[in-house]
Each structure stands twice: as structure tokens, then as C-alpha cells.
Chains A and B, each alone.
Chain A
Amino acid sequence: MAAAPSATAVSTAALLAPIRAPTSAFLRRTQLTRHRDHSLKCRRAGPIVPAAAAAAAGSSSSPSSAVFHGECFVVGDNIDTDQIIPAEHLTLVPSKPDEYRKLGSFAFAGLPSAAYPTPFVAPGEESTRYAVVVGGANFGCGSSREHAPVALGAAGARAVVAEGYARIFFRNSVATGEVYPLELTDTGAWKECKTGDVVTVDLSNSVFINHTSGKEYKLKPIGDAGPVIEAGGIFAYARKTGMIASKAAA
């Protein structure tokens, strides 16, 4: 795992380094492994320094302490799974690594171009520059296709911040560990955010900060789902916590 050493490489210099946005997309594009790598998680150790923490990776044992920082991509209410990943791309099988990446390149390909002139994934790219998706009510409604959270995760998005989720999308996000489906306590944030705004999602403080607009929004705690997503999904979590035998064990 080439990227592994950076997970522990915490230095003062890194903490004080200027913002490297879009952090996660940049890092993600450079590696091919499917599962969450700790180097991609910008976790905070010690007092919160949201901007600087983005460039650093620390070790913290407390659950759901991740901090994501980067640019956001803004969508509205009732974004259904056909807009997240159009059905014509469902021939791609997410469990096959090359097709997994291809799914990422089609993330949000179903959004009407008139209403969303900026594509989530730039033409010719496999990953997105947007680490965080900001949405309205009932995000991920429609079909049960797991391809939806997979496409977002494969593209490099780390979290969705929305007013609410359709049940199956929420569950699939947790089960796969692809993206954190985070809920805002209030409505209307998506109307105050613009695609490209620089944002920070801070799980331990349950806060979503838009640095561009200077506004801050409260998030509902992710609760027990947090550690599952952090582990990389239900199977990884079950192995990590001893619920099922580790694959590495004899």
C-alpha cells in the first residue's frame, strides 16, 4: 500500500500547511485501491484547525472524527438515483475494479445540463474535484441501485451533506462505506452554497462550514453509522470489530 506511510506522517509543518484543495480528489486520483485508505481521511488530532487539518492526517481513536475539506458541488431537492447514475450505465458491475472506476466517471451524469452547467466530473476525467456534495431534501430517492453511492465514492466524493435521504440510498452509503450521508439540522443550506465554494465537513463537531460564504451549518451526528463507513462498509466493520472472522486470520 504505497499511500500507507502518509497516514501517520503528521508534522507541524503539515498542520500549518496552506489548504490544498481539492484535497481528497487530488489524493484519490493518485491511487487505485477501492477501499478507504487512511491517507485520504483528513482526521484531526487535537484542537480543531479546520483549514490546516485538511492537509494533514492524524491518528485519532474516537469514531467519526473525520474532517473533509475541499470544494463542494451543489444540487437541489429530490435528486434521484437516475440523476446520480443514469440507468444506461448500470451494466457496469461495481465489484469489478475497472468498472468501479468507470462508474465514478459517470457520477451525476444524469443531471439536466441546463440546470447544472458544471459537470461533477470533468469530461475525460475519472475523478471529481468536488470532495463534498451539498443537496436538499430526499437525496438519493428512486431506485435501490448501489451504483449510486458507489459512483459518488468512486469519483472521489467523501461526503454528501443534505437535508434528508431516501432510505435505500442512506443504507447503501453505509453498507458500502462509499460516502458519508450527513444530515443537516436545518433546511436551505443548498440555496446558500454554490458549486466551487470551499467547505469543511467536521464530523467530531458535527458542523459544515462554507468558507467562501462564511456560513456555518449544524449537522446531525452520524452516530453508529460513522464507524461503519470509516471502516469501509459493513463487512469491513464486522471483521474489524470481530463480529465475523477476519479474512487474515487462519
Chain B
Amino acid sequence: MASSISAAAKASTAFAHKKELAAPAPAQHRAGSSRRTKPCRVRAVASPARAPRAPSSTGSVKSAMTMTEKILARASERAALEPGENVWVDVDVLMTHDVCGPGTIGIFKKEFGEDAKVWDREKVVIIPDHYIFTTDERANRNVDILRDFCLEQNIKYFYDIKDLSNFKANPDYKGVCHVALAQEGHCRPGEVLLGTDSHTCNAGAFGQFATGIGNTDAGFVLGTGKALLKVPPTIRFVLDGEMPPYLLAKDLILQIIGEISVSGATYKSMEFVGSTVESLTMEERMTLCNMVIEAGGKNGVVPADETTFKYLEGKTSVDYEPVYSDAQARFFSDYRFDVSKLEPVVAKPHSPDNRALARECKDVKVDRVYIGSCTGGKTEDFLAAAKVFLASGKKVKVPTFLVPATQKVWMDVYSLPVPGSGGKTCSQIFEEAGCDTPASPSCGACLGGPRDTYARMNEPMVCVSTTNRNFPGRMGHKEGQIYLASPYTAAASALTGYVTDPRDFLM
């Protein structure tokens, strides 16, 4: 036992040593408005003796960097970084959930000792969300493992659920981790967030570095607060032009993935800029960043701006400082899109890059529609679907399943008035349209899950879904066919029973 602890202690000593030698990063210069940000966290205070600093680290000689490079430079206390360099970074937040948490905890205990403590109880966020409303005993046990660990470690942010019969009886329970992270103020510009889920890249919407890691890497982070990361080169996507009223961010990212393929951004960062991106809400920016992994991307980023700062107001008391790509920063490549000319798209089975125009698929008969997940189950996603149902005034022709991402989204679905409806809520509109009653918030059937998961595809059916993946078997059945689409397109398809361009109802 003692030896295990000494292993942990030695590991952290090694890191501390490294920290002392490294020159502190100069305060990042600020670009754009940062009215709402507070002064930079001073990391250098703890370092007693500084090694002599090379001119390049004093700020007088500065190399141009992209946003992702800058975030990683600051987190590794380096003045400058080049793509391809491997650096040890300080992790600001580590997130795990019920699917990968138990394995991560297992590795942490095995490697650091049964009595080991996590590196920072306030920087670990644990969110049960995947397999919650199921009678699967092992799934239930996994949530118990999370709870025991959080109690033992006094983890500050654990969004627990005990009463599975009624999620509302669990005030702490949130739901889908990526949306909960944003809503609870854990996503902050300029920081490094790692999570044991590939869609952790969702948080890039806040101008932070966020990426998914495995259990073993996460176990290491739990013990040390550090991760060895390779600095990715950045591909820049410039989206300009006014967003047509029938498009959503989902159309933009499906357009992009269709352009560069499911491996087009492997090992790379994707930065989204341009007037269209600036006009997007935070939830829409999340949709954009959420799916960078579907192009193989390591992370996605949107520069933080007034929209970001406003969203964060009242959500966090942690000081943060956004960083921005330098004008001279080097990008791996540039893609430009005139958004005003784009049309609603879908990703056909069985790959997120199998792009087609929604109207080209109008003969594809569908068996069901699914609106939910981290990608497509946010408040605005339901407002968008409600807008289509409201515009049509008709009833759905196929079973339509609604799974709000989080408890907050669920509340919004039942309380927020839909614009132009005379005060009706989404839930009222969904009921009038004949949709299934909105289910308890969780990852639901997005990734199939245990057999009794709500709306899981247990038969080989065709589904239009606002989720993020359509590989074989993703929603449960190996022969099931999934068409990925925006909430507009999903709702329009529910109304006709065929894949449908939402302009049929919105124009």
C-alpha cells in the first residue's frame, strides 16, 4: 500500500520539478472584447526559483499561434508551441460518466493505490448519463461505483441520481454530460477540459481545448492532473453569409464532414470562424464543435465573444481568460463556405460523411424519428422542432421520440413559450402533433445502450435522428438505418414519413 502511494507521490514530484524549470508563459495578450473576464490566473506564484528565460519566452519575441496552440502553450507553461510537439499540460477539468468512469476509477486505484486521492476534488466532474433508466443490473451498479468513489473522494461536482422511477426527484441529476458541463459552468474559455467521451469536443464552443480520452489516460489525469498531449495543427473553417431560416448548425457540420470525410481532420484541430459563426448561439456553436470527432478531429474551437461571455454570466465564479488565434498564425488549411447558398442536408447510412441534400432523399421512407442527444437534444433543438410542427399544424406520421439532454432542457420543453405560438410550450406542441411524451433526460438511444433503453432500435428500421453517428448498429440494431439530420429536417420528416426538406413547411 505504502509503495503505491509513494509511486503517486513520486509521480507528482517529477511533475512539480518540471514545472519549476519551465518558464512561465507570459500573460496572453487579449484580442477582442474581454470585458467580462477577470485578470489572468497567476500560475507562477508557486514556482520559487525560475530558470533563466530565453528572449522568446519573455514576450518580446513572439511566435504567432493558433487558438488551440495558445491554450496548450499556456497549459504547459510554454511560451510557444509548434504543431507536432508533445507537451505535458495541466488539466483544468476532467469529466467522466457511468460508462467509462468505473474503468477509470479501477485504473486510478490499481496504479495509484487504494488510498490514493484525486489530484483536485474540485476539478473532477462526474456525470451519470448514459445508462440510467434501465433495469440492467450492471449499468445500475456502475452508477453505484461512481457514487461510492465521489463520496470517498469528496468530489465536488457529482450529478447523482438515486430514484430512477422519477428523475425529477433527483435535484442533482443533470443528464447528458456535454450539455450539463456547459449549463453548469464547467466550460470556460482558454481552459483544458478532458473527458472520457469522444464528444467532449463539444466544449470547444466556449473557446477552450476539449477532447476525449480513454480510461487509462483519464486514470493518469485523476492521479496527477496532467496529460501528455500532441499539439495538433489547425484547419480553419471560415463560414460567412447570412444563415437561411431553414438551416441549423447541424446542417453546417454535416456539410463540412461531407466535404472533408470522416477522417479529414484526424489528429487536427478545427477552428470555426466567420460572420455566420459569430451569429450563432452557444447551443448552435456546441452542435458545430460536438461533431468534429465525426471528422476525426482532436478538438474544435469557436473564438469566445460577447455571446460566450453572456452565456457564462452567473454560471461560473472561476476566472478565465480567452485566447485567440494570431493574425499571422499558421493554419494547416482553410475551407470557406458561403452559408447563404447551402441547403438542408442529411448524412445517409452508415457514415456521418455520407452527405446528401435532404430533398434528394425525399423517397426514403422512414419508420421513426428521434430528437435527442448531446448534439441534437438541447433546448433550441426542441424549439426548432416545435417551430416546424407549429408551422404545419399537422400530426406526425411516424413514431417520434423526444429525449431532452438534461433536466434543464426538459424543464424548458415544458415551460418556455415557443415564439409565434401564442404562448404554447414545446411540450404542448409536441402533444398536439402526436409525438411521444418527452422522456427522462439521458443519452437514451443515441448509442443503443441496454436492451430496455427508451426508443432503442430493436428492429431493423429506418430512423431520422438528430444524433451524431450512424455507423452500423449505433442505435441498437445492426441492420438499422440512420439518417442524421437537423431538428428542422427531423421534424419535417416526422410529419411526412419520408426524409423531408424542412422548407416544405417553413417557407
- Tell me whether B448 and A88 are in contact (CB under 8 A): yes
Residues of A within 8 A of B217 (CB): 171-172, 175, 234
Given contacts A83-B472, A143-B447, A245-B7, contact A112 B216 (CB under 8 A): no
A110 touches B216 (CB 8 A): no
Contact between chains at B111 and A235 (CB < 8 Å): yes
Given contacts A91-B139, A144-B198, contact A176 B266 (CB under 8 A): no
Chain A residue at minimum C-beta to C-beta distance from B450 = A88
Contact A144 B196 (CB under 8 A): yes
In B107-142, the 8 Å CB interface with A consists of 107, 110-111, 130-131, 136, 138-139, 142
> A3 near B: Cβ within 8 Å?
no
Q: Which of A83, A233, A238 contacts B473 (CB 8 A)?
A: A83
Q: Is A94 a contact of B215 with CB atoms below 8 Å? A: yes
**Interchain CB contact (< 8 A) of A247 among B4, B142, B472:** B4
Is B487's CB within 8 Å of the partner chain A?
no
Enumerate chain B residues within 8 angstroms of A250, measured Cβ to Cβ: 2-3, 6
Chain B contacts of A88 at CB under 8 A?
448-451, 476
Q: In the complex, which residues of chain B have a beta carbon less than 8 angstroms from the beta carbon of A234?
A: 216-217, 220
Given the known interface contacts A175-B214, A245-B3, the answer about A141 and B262 at a Cβ–Cβ threshold of 8 Å is yes
- Closest B residue to A178 by beta carbon equals B216
Query: Would A95 and B106 be within 8 Å (CB), given that A78-B262, A250-B3 are in contact?
Result: yes
User: Are the C-beta atoms of B142 and A91 separated by less than 8 Å?
Assistant: yes
- Tell me how far the C-beta of A21 lies from the nearest C-beta in chain B, rounded to whole angstroms: 30
- Residues in B with CB closer than 8 Å to A233 are 216
Encode A224-243 as 1/0 by CB contact (under 8 A) with B. Answer: 00000000011100110001
Contact status of A137 and B447, CB under 8 A, knowing A95-B102, A95-B215, A168-B212: no
- Tell me if A's interface is mostly helix, strand, loop or mixed: loop
Within 8 A of B (CB), among A112-155: 112-114, 137-138, 141-147
Task: Out of A78, A146, A245, name the residue touching B216 (CB < 8 Å).
Answer: A146
* Docked pose: A82 CA to B107 CA in angstroms: 23
- Do residues A138 and B296 form an inter-chain contact, with CB atoms below 8 A? yes
Interface digits, B188-224 against A, CB 8 Å rule (1 contact, 0 not)?
A: 0000000011101000000000001111110010000
Interface string of A7-42 (1 = CB under 8 A from B): 000000000000000000000000000000000000
Q: Which of B14, B103, B263 is A138 in contact with, Cβ under 8 Å?
A: B263
Within 8 A of A (CB), among B1-33: 2-4, 6-7, 10-11, 14
Closest chain A residue to B471, Cβ basis: A80
Instruction: Tell yes or no: A49 within 8 A of B by CB.
Output: no
Question: Chain A 60-104, CB within 8 Å of chain B: the 1/0 string?
Answer: 000000000000000000101011001110111111100000000
**A173 vs B475: C-alpha distance when bound (angstroms):** 25
Q: Is the CB of A86 within 8 A of B214?
A: no
Q: Which residues of B contact A95 (CB under 8 A)?
A: 102-103, 105-107, 110, 215
- The answer to whether A143 touches B3, judged by C-beta atoms less than 8 angstroms apart, is no
- Chain B residues within 8 Å of A145, by CB: 99-100, 214
Q: Is B351 an interface residue (CB 8 A)?
A: yes
Residues of B within 8 A of A137 (CB): 263
Query: Closest approach, in angstroms, between the C-beta of A86 and any C-beta of chain B?
Result: 6
Residue among B2, B215, B469, B474 facing the most chain A CB atoms (10 A cut-off): B215
Q: Using A82-B469, A87-B447, A93-B106 as known contacts, say yes or no to A110 and B478 having CB atoms under 8 A apart.
A: yes
CA distance A90 to B215 in the complex (A): 12
Residue A215 interfacial (CB < 8 Å): no
Interface presence of A2 (CB below 8 A): no
Among candidates A87, A93, A166, A243, residue contacting B296 with C-beta atoms closer than 8 Å: A166
B-chain residues with CB within 8 Å of residue A171 when the two chains form the complex:
213-214, 217
A90 CA to B214 CA, complexed, in Å: 13
Which residues of B in the span 260-296 have a Cβ within 8 Å of any Cβ on A?
262-263, 266-267, 293, 296
Interface string of B66-105 (1 = CB under 8 A from A): 0000000000000000000000000000000001101101
Cα-based distance from A138 to B266 in the complex (angstroms): 9
Q: Is A164 an interface residue (CB 8 A)?
A: yes
Specify which chain B residues have a CB less than 8 angstroms from the CB of A82 in the assembled complex.
447-448, 469, 471-474
If the complex has contacts A91-B450, A144-B198, are A235 and B3 also in contact, measured as CB distance less than 8 A? no
Query: A229–B478 Cα gap in the complex (Å)?
Result: 32
A167 and B216 within 8 A (CB): no
| Minimum Cβ distance to chain B for residue A24 (Å) | 22
Q: How far is it, in angstroms, between the C-alpha of A183 and the C-alpha of B2 when the chains are bound?
A: 41
Residues 157 to 190 of chain A near chain B (Cβ within 8 Å): 164, 166-168, 171-172, 175-176
The answer to whether the Cβ of A248 comes within 8 Å of any Cβ in the partner chain is yes
B267:A78 contact, CB within 8 angstroms: no
Give B436-479 interface residues, CB cut-off 8 Å to A: 447-451, 469, 471-474, 476, 478-479
Residues of B within 8 A of A238 (CB): 11
Q: Chain B contacts of A91 at CB under 8 A?
A: 99, 131, 136, 138-139, 142, 450
Are A247 and B471 neighbours in the complex by a CB distance under 8 Å?
no
CA distance A113 to B448 in the complex (A): 18
Q: Is A249 an interface residue (CB 8 A)?
A: yes
Q: Is B298 close to A, CB under 8 A?
A: yes
A226 to B50, CA, bound (A): 36
User: Chain A residues near B216 (CB, 8 Å)?
Assistant: 146, 172, 175-176, 233-235
Q: Are B473 and A146 closer than 8 Å at their CB atoms? A: no
Given the contacts A91-B142, A244-B11, A146 and B3 also touching, CB distance less than 8 Å? no
Shortest CB distance A87–B (Å): 4
Bound Cα distance A78, B294 (Å): 11
| Pair B471/A144 contact, Cβ less than 8 Å | no
With A143-B198, A145-B99, A175-B216 in contact, do A249 and B263 touch (Cβ < 8 Å)?
A: no
With A142-B198, A144-B200, A176-B214 given, name 8 new contacts (CB 8 A).
Answer: A80-B469, A87-B448, A91-B450, A112-B479, A138-B296, A141-B296, A164-B266, A171-B213
Q: Which residues of B contact A (CB under 8 A)?
A: 2-4, 6-7, 10-11, 14, 99-100, 102-103, 105-107, 110-111, 130-131, 136, 138-139, 142, 145, 196-198, 200, 212-217, 220, 262-263, 266-267, 293, 296, 298, 351, 447-451, 469, 471-474, 476, 478-479
CB within 8 Å of B: which residues of A? 78, 80, 82-83, 86-88, 90-96, 110-114, 137-138, 141-147, 164, 166-168, 171-172, 175-176, 233-235, 238-239, 243-250
